[in-house]
Structure 1
Amino acid sequence: MHVMKLSAIALAVTAGASQLAMASAQSEAKGLMEDSSLDLFNRNLYFNRDFQNNAPGTQSKVEEWAHGFTATFESGFTQGPVGFGFDAYGMIGLKLDSSPSRAGTGLLPVGSDGYAEDEYAEAGGVVKARVSSSVLKYGQQIVGVPVFATDDSRLLPETATGFMLTSNELEGLELNAGHFTALNAQAQTGHDSVGLKRLDFVGGTYAVDDNFSLSLYYSDAHDAFQKVYGNLNYTVPLVNEQSLNFDFNIYRTDYEAEYTGTGDDEGNTIWSLAATYSLGAHSFMLAYQKSIGGFDGIGYDYGIDGGGTVYLANSVQRSDFNAQDEKSWQARYDLDLAAVGLNGFKFMTRYIYGDDADVGTTDNGKEWERDIELRYVVPEGPAKDLSLRLRQATYRSSDGVYYGSPSIDEVRVIIEYPLSIL
């Protein structure tokens, strides 16, 4: 989630080079086990999606409840000019409630008999090396860059297998490069379930100062598409706990004929601009998003390059508003309820409307979504950082052209508890 010129990356490098390089992270290495950590992340998730007016004989609801454990060990680095280390993880998902008539939420794998598995598990690891402040990793990883982002929107995250280089040699400048050959979906346990052949990416983010940053990335998914992504983020500080933030995101995707199935190469440009005014505990956001071009009703497409690869303002709980030639608007309000004495509570609501979408069956498709979220994070005490979230989404579209149903009501209850063991 380009028009942006390649000179932006040159600007970042030039500006960063004018600053002193940061102290080498490797020079401060304490040892393989001395800098190690072991964390256990718990996620309990209830998911209910109600299809309000599906055709007779089709599934009218998906509803499941499950608990996931993710244990992550990260070693430090050996001392010396080149430091070596390793990371490892283990994940398990446990079914708490499901049935064949309600399966299919994406929380749990579903067998050929229609029943969700009682449990599923995955384990993997990474070997890593560090020179100065640059780290190279190989293995199964969780990745989060705009052109290759593993998804963590259900019980357990996607994982990707390959190489990842992260460099922080210059203050304010982070450079990333990757080569990945497999991507495993959230409710699967194999090495690769998405069909990724090969994906390479390069790019970075430069923070000019505390209020202004820019990003530029390029990726190539073999036999599928190439993407260029750009971002500009600027905050204007105002008086009396006020600020104004502008966030601009843009993707240019060039689809290969083998991927489109049309016999022709196709392209899509999608961009969003969000403006957020913050006043103490309140923030108000307005956003506009526009998709231009695509194929067979598909505008901006992603998935084989990670289910989170949609860094756009109107990519929300249910829809991404990313159909061919679609334009959409969003209004959002956030409130930190600590301002009224409810420490740890936060509230959010937003409304998004899209139209002029070419989805194959019509070139004037319309959709809207309303999301409400209430979140509480325990601020202190034995249960510090325990979080509870209640999320509700109402989604409607014209003619059922989106997601197979024109009317969807959704509720998610999410409880998360991170534990630091080492």
Structure 2
Amino acid sequence: MLKAQQLTLAVLIQAALVSTAFASEQSESKGFVEDAEGTVLFRTGYINRDKKNVKPGVDNSSFAQTAMVKLESGYTQGIVGFGAGIIGDGSFKIGENKHAGNNMIPRETAIVDGVPTKGAGDAYDHWSRGGGFVKARFSNTSAVYGTQILDIPVLASNTTRLVPEYFTGTLLTSHEIKNLEVIAGKFTKNQYSDQIATDSNHLRNAWVWGAKYKFDENLTGSYYGTDVKDKLDRHYVNANYKLPLANKDSLTFDFSGYHTEWDKGASASSSSLGSDSSDRSNNIWALSSTYNTGPHSVMLAYQQNTGNTGYAYGENADGGQSIYLPNSYLSDFNGRKEKSAQLQYNLDFGAYGIPGLNWTSAFVYGWNIQTKTENNAKEREFFNQVKYTVQSGFAKDTSLRVRYSHYRNDASYANDYYMPDTNEWRLFFDIPVKLF
């Protein structure tokens, strides 16, 4: 297999040698100032986890307000264009938040029995994070260095909390061949949503590479890989095919899967149950089928986990959202040897005179989980989400999202590896503002 450094070099060579099949993005640049953009997203966020069968005071609840800013220049004109920008967020808590602890609000370091204990103290009253980046573009290939929010299946920033997870490093993205996107990069810092320091996860370096190709209007395929130094090697594949039917109906098939091998001493949340820490691996895959007719869509999905440990992500500075699989809500249904099935229904109320209103419900059932005490532990989740986005007027794109999960599992899985029975609410009110 090619080294990550060789893959990065391959992207640059491709940009220089491959003749493009369409107009150059850089040739269409209007300028550093002319293409500049500035936005602020004001978000009010609330998460409440009501944990059942545990002593009072263990529940997690967070309530806070933030402003997420992105100021980005265009590219200078010429054969090679250059630009720069900043991203960041400034937040403050609403109320005491004495039971915060769901990765949304940073907490002071507390002293327990004379020992500093991270995440056990009071929630910060206010905090800010962020950083800058520089960028360059040649033809249809761009390079960005600095603070970034990643959306790569093997290295993905968690964006489901108040503020996003940040990575610091370099990412190359190439579109030199029509319908083909190739990426390669290296990242050296990782900052969770509830962390103040830019590298609390002590990421030494993470190489990432991959490609996505659109074969035609209905079929796409992709592959991505990452090598997190002294932690893990992970590979991801996906194929998606949409079959058009009569009356504008459609049937979409999607396959996705991961293969992971951990280095000795790396963290894996689902125990290897006695296997040596230098020999841990996992395969997890899923197949889904979605039928869409008018405003209605129904999805059936099956997901299966194999290997001598469960699928673990986010623990080795590999991204708190690096699980691009269908059976992922409050639970990810990724326990050791676990199998799971899902039924999901989605309704777009636009067809009934309420454009911008969307409702999703799903039920996921998991079984065959291997724990220290049994070989067929089970879990289940009933998920509901309603989201409304304003379609026009002065408040255009303002949105309210309300999400509820009812989660239950067997005691052997909860006690040894995972969360207890939990009812979770998430409410996010977003107001986007375009500055320029």
TM-score normalized by structure 2?
A: 0.88
Which of residues 385, 388, 391 in structure 2 aligns to 1:379? 391
1:59 Cα offset (Å): 3.3
Moved more, 58-67 or 112-121: 58-67
Change beyond 3 A, Cα 1:215–1:26:
same
Return the offset for 1:98: 3.1
> How far is 1:80 from its partner?
1.1
Residue number in structure 2 paired with 1:330: 342
In the TM superposition, structure 1's runs of 4+ consecutive aligned residues that sit over 4 Å from their partners are 17-20
Q: Which residue of 2 aligns with 1:340?
A: 352
Structure 2: segments with no counterpart, 5+ residues: 1-13, 111-120, 268-274
Whether 2:379 is the aligned partner of 1:364: answer no
- 1:38-69, CA deviations, whole angstroms, 9 ceiling, x for partnerless residues? 00011111111101111x3x634212211111
2:280: which partner in 1?
Answer: 266
Q: Does the Cα contact within 8 Å between 2:232 and 2:266 map onto a contact in 1?
A: yes
Q: What amino acid is aligned across from residue 331 of structure 1 in structure 2?
A: L
How far has the Cα of 1:308 moved from its partner? Answer: 1.0
Q: Structure 1 pair 204/237, CA: closer, same or farther in 2 (3 Å)?
A: same
Q: Secondary structure of 2:94's match?
A: strand
The aligned counterpart of 1:70 is 68
Q: CA deviation at 1:301?
A: 3.6
Q: Following TM superposition, by how much is the alpha carbon of 1:302 offset from its aligned partner in structure 2, in angstroms?
A: 3.9
- For 2:194, what is the secondary structure of its paired residue? coil
- SS at structure 1 position matched to 2:247: coil
Matched, 1:292 2:292: no
Tell whether the 8 Å contact from 1:91 to 1:122 is kept in structure 2 after alignment: yes
Paired position in structure 1 for 2:221 = 214
Is 1:150 aligned to 2:141, yes or no? no
1:29 corresponding residue in structure 2? 29
Q: Label 1:286 to 1:263 Cα distance change in 2 as closer, same or farther (>3 A).
A: closer
The CA deviation at 1:30 is 1.3
Aligned residues: CA RMSD: 1.9
Choose 328-337 or 186-195, whichever is displaced more: 186-195
Match of 2:270 in 1: none
Q: Pick which of 365-374 and 190-199 moved more.
A: 190-199
> Secondary structure at the residue paired with 1:240?
helix
Larger mean Cα displacement after TM superposition, 274-283 or 207-216: 207-216
- In 2 relative to 1, CA 400–388 (structure 1 residues): closer, same or farther, beyond 3 Å? farther
SS in structure 1 of the partner of residue 323 of structure 2: coil
Q: CA deviation at 1:376?
A: 0.6
The residue aligned with 2:128 is 121
Cα distance in 1 between the residues matched to 2:298 and 2:157: 29
Code of the residue aligned with 1:312 in structure 2: it is L
Whether the 8 Å CA contact 2:386–2:403 is kept in 1: the answer is yes
SS in 2 for 1:339: helix
Instruction: Note the C-alpha offset of 1:400.
Output: 5.4
Identify if the C-alpha distance between structure 1 residues 142 and 49 changes in structure 2 by more than 3 Å, giving closer, same or farther. Answer: same
Q: Within 2, Cα distance between the matches of 1:168 and 1:105? A: 38
Alignment of 1:216-255 (within 5 A): 216-255=223-262
Aligned equivalent of 1:81: 79
Q: CA deviation at 1:378?
A: 0.5
DSSP-derived class of the 1:257 partner: coil
What CA distance in whole angstroms lies between the structure 1 residues aligned with 2:65 and 2:30? 36
Distance apart, 1:70 and its partner CA: 0.7
Task: Return the match for 1:276 from 290, 305, 310.
Answer: 290
Report the Cα distance in structure 2 between the residues aligned to 1:231 and 1:71, rounded to whole angstroms.
Answer: 32
Paired residue type of 1:41: L
CA distance in 2, matches of 1:400, 1:179: 39
Q: Name the structure 2 match of 1:163.
A: 170
Structure 1 unmatched runs, 5+? 1-13
Identity across matched positions, percent: 38
Counterpart residue number, 1:4: none
The answer to whether the 8 A contact 2:63-2:97 is kept is no
Counterpart in the other structure of 2:144: 137
* Separation (CA, whole Å) in 2 of partners of 1:167 and 1:20: 11
Note the alpha carbon deviations across 1:221-279, whole angstroms, 9 max, x for none: 11111111100000001111200001110101111223269343221110001100000
By how many angstroms is 1:349 displaced?
0.2
The corresponding residue for 2:5 is none
Paired AA for residue 105 in structure 1: N
Question: Following TM superposition, by how much is the alpha carbon of 1:404 offset from its aligned partner in structure 2, in angstroms?
Answer: 4.8
| Contact 2:313/2:320, CA 8 A, preserved across alignment | no
Q: Distance in 1 between matches of 2:97 and 2:132?
A: 33
1:308 correspondence with 2:321: yes
CA distance in 1, matches of 2:105, 2:183: 32
Task: Give me the whole-angstrom Cα distance separating, in 1, the residues matched to 2:340 and 2:186.
Answer: 34
- Rounded to whole Å, the distance in 2 between the matches of 1:79 and 1:246 is 42
- Structure 2 counterpart of 1:90: 88
Gap change, CA 1:234 and 1:154, over 3 Å in 2 = same
Counterpart contact for 1:72–1:87, Cα < 8 Å: yes
Q: Are the aligned partners of 1:200 and 1:219 in contact in 2 as well (CA < 8 Å)?
A: yes
Name the CA shift for 1:203/1:405 in 2 (closer, same or farther; >3 Å).
Answer: closer
Matched, 1:183 2:154: no
User: Residue 386 and residue 33 in structure 1: after superposition, are their counterparts in 2 closer, same or farther (change >3 A)?
Assistant: same
Q: Is the 8 A contact 1:19 1:171 kept in 2?
A: no
Alignment check: 8 A CA contact 1:400 1:406 kept: no
Bigger CA drift: 278-287 or 26-35?
A: 26-35
- C-alpha contact (below 8 Å) 1:52/1:60 kept by paired residues: no
Q: CA deviation at 1:170?
A: 1.4
Cα distance in 1 for residues equivalent to 2:431 and 2:277: 49
Distance of 1:353 and 1:144 partners within structure 2 = 27
Q: Which of 93, 96, 105 is the aligned partner of 1:108?
A: 105
Asked whether the 8 Å contact 2:402–2:428 carries over to 1, the reply is yes
Aligned partners of 2:46, 2:143: CA distance in 1, in Å?
Answer: 37
Amino acid at match of 1:315: S
Q: Tell me if structure 2 keeps the 8 A contact 1:30–1:79.
A: yes
